[in-house]
Amino acid sequence: MSLETEARSVDLEVDTLVVVWADEHVSRFGLVELRRRCTCAQCRELRQRGEMIWPKPGVPETLELTGAELVGGWGLSLRWNDRHETGIYPWETLRAWCRCELCTRS
Ligand SMILES: [Zn+2]
Ligand SMILES: [Zn+2]
């Protein structure tokens, strides 16, 4: 595993998930953005049909993480307060989604 896709720490700062990578790069992801980009088959299908993943009727007003778990070293499983928990976010994907100044400069 390369340093670029190895997470050293994952923290939640209010509505932002902060990932510090082994190469000291820091990525910040808004929770709504992460929820909308959920990688599970169900959400992928919704996106393909052009349907909104978040917000939608009947969900809590504010999106919150209710849990996060490492999945065998290759990714992060996120549990949401709309009871959705099937999405696993591979580290590689998260790193590719990084929109920090460094990553967006080129
Ligand atoms: Zn999903
Ligand atoms: Zn970056």
Whether the Cβ atoms of residue 53 and residue 43 lie closer than 8 Å to each other: yes
Q: 24: which strand partners?
A: none
To which residue do tokens 């976010």 refer? Answer: 89
Which residue type occupies 56? Answer: K
Whether the Cβ atoms of residue 87 and residue 78 lie closer than 8 Å to each other: yes
- With a CB cutoff of 8 Å and minimum separation 6, the contacts of 47 are 53
pTM as predicted: 0.92
CATH architecture type of domain 3-104: 2-Layer Sandwich (3.30)
Q: Which ligand is nearest to the CA of 42?
A: 1
Q: How many CB atoms lie within 10 A of CB 21?
A: 20
The domains of the chain are located at 3-104
**Residue range 57-106, pLDDT digits in tens:** 999 999 999 999 999 889 999 999 999 999 999 999 999 999 999 999 96
Give residues whose Cβ lies within 5 Å of ion ligand 2: 98, 100, 102-103
Span 43-52, average pLDDT = 97
- Classify the C-alpha dihedral 29-35-39-45 as positive or negative: negative
- With a CB cutoff of 8 Å and minimum separation 6, the contacts of 64 are 31, 80, 81
Q: Which ligand is nearest to the CA of 45?
A: 1
